Amino acid sequence: MLLHGGASSSEAREYCGRILQQECTAELKEQVVAWIDAFRGLEQTGAPTMLYIAAWRETEQVIWYEFASERLCELLACRSNEVAEVLRQSVIDRREYRYADLDAEVQEAVTTRRELEVFRQGLREAVCRQGGVEAVYKVVVAGRKALWLKDQAVTRSFAPDGILVSLGMLTDVTKEMEQKDLLQRIGYFDELTRLPKRHIMQTLLEMSFGQMKKQLIDNFSFLMLAVDDFAEIRARIGQEEADRVLAAVAELLTASKRREDEIGRYGGEEFYALSHGGLASGRELAERLRRLVAQAGFRVAETAITLTLSAGVVEATELTNPGIDALVMRADRRLRQARRQGGNRVVGSDEPGP
C-alpha cells in the first residue's frame, strides 16, 4: 500500500503500519497520512534526527510503527515493519534525566531491561499522563557496538479509536554517552585494587532496595569484609608491599565472585559485597571468599605470608526499618564481632546482649 497525500508524498514508500488498514475513524486516518507526509518531507532535508510515528491501543501491550525513517532502519539493520520488535529485543536500559530545580544536580533514573519488561505498561501510562517522553536508550543490535539513542516525543490520544500515537525523533548520542561513561569509570574504580569505590556502594544499595520495593527481588545480603591484622602486616612488610598484597587480595576476590555478586573497596583493608538472596546466600559467598584467601599463597620478597579474612553478613529483610545506614552499621558490627573472636571467620548474627 502506497500513500498519496500530495506533493510531499512523491517519494512515497511502502506503508507498513496498521491504522490505515484497520477500521479506524476517518479523522485518525487523515491525521496519520498528514503526519507521514510531513515526516517524509523532513527526512528528505537530510536532518540528522531519525523521525518516527509509533502507536498502540490503550487495552493492549503491543506497540507498532506507522512510520520509521530510513536512517533508523539502517541503524537497526531492519525493515520499517520490524523496528518495534528489534527495539524491544535490543534495548539494554532506559535513562531519564530529571531536574529537581535549577540549582540541584541532574538526577539520572535508570530502568534496566528486566524492569522494562515488567513495567512496560506503567511506563506507557506515565508517557500518556505527561503528554510525551524524553529519555535515552542504550541499544545493542545483533552483537554490534552499543548505540545510545535520545528519544524526544509527544503523545496524542484518539479516544474514539482507543489508540495513542507517539510522534518522536531519535538522535544518536553515542559519542556523548560514551564520554559520560568514561568520566564515570574514572571516578568509579579504586586505583590500587581496581574495584568499585566506596561511594559506589551507596548507588548499588539504593538499586537493590529499589528492586525489593518493586518486587523484582525478594531479598539481598550485604557483606563487610576485612583482611585480619593488616596494620601489623603493613608495619612488618612496609606500605609498598602492603599495597601489592591488597591488590592481590582484590584480584582474588574479583575472580571468585559470581556474575550476580558485587564487590568493592570500602577503605584501607576493608571491602564490601552484595549478594542476591538472603542470609544463606551471603554467608555462602563470605565463606567461599574467606577460604580462598586463607588457602592462597601470597608472597612478599620471595617470602610466603598467610592472610585471613573476616566478614560480617546481614540480609536486608532482617532490618526493622530498612535503610542503607542501618544495613552497613549492622554488617560492620558483625565484622568487628568476627575480629574480636579471633578473625578468619564469618558472622551472620549479632552477639547476645548481657
Domain boundaries, the chain: 7-180, 187-347
Q: In this predicted model, which residue has the larger pLDDT, 331 or 185?
A: 331
pLDDT of residue 123: 64
Helices (H), the chain: 26-43, 70-76, 83-90, 113-130, 174-186, 198-213, 230-237, 239-256, 279-295, 324-340
% of the chain surpassing 90 pLDDT: 52
pLDDT of residue 104: 47
Please tell me the pTM assigned to this model: 0.54
CATH dotted code for 7-180: 3.30.450.20
CATH topology of domain 187-347: Alpha-Beta Plaits (3.30.70)
pLDDT tens for residues 272-287?
999 988 999 999 999 9
Phi, psi of 278 (to 5 degrees): -85, -155
pLDDT tens for residues 7-41?
333 344 678 899 999 999 999 999 999 999 999 99
% of the chain surpassing 70 pLDDT: 88
Nearest to 211 by CA among 96, 98, 316, 106: 316
Nearest to 286 by CA among 269, 305, 272: 272
Handedness of CA 215, 203, 285, 317 (dihedral sign): negative
Which of 59-63, 71-75, 106-110, 111-115 has the highest mean predicted lDDT (pLDDT)?
71-75
pLDDT tens for residues 100-151?
554 445 567 777 777 777 656 666 676 677 777 789 999 998 777 889 999 9
Residue 336 exposed, middle or buried by CB count within 10 Å (0-12, 13-18, 19+): middle
CB 170 within 8 A of CB 75: no
pLDDT of residue 98: 65
How many C-alpha atoms does 351 have within 13 Å on its Cβ side?
12
**pLDDT band at residue 305 using 50, 70 and 90 as cut-offs:** confident
**What cell numbers appear for 145 in the block?**
557496538
DSSP state of 163: E
CB 222 within 8 A of CB 230: no
Residue type, 183: L
pLDDT tens for residues 255-274?
888 878 899 999 999 999 99
Mean pLDDT of the residues in the chain: 86
CA distance 200 to 187: 9
Residue whose cell numbers read 508524498 = 9
DSSP state of 318: G
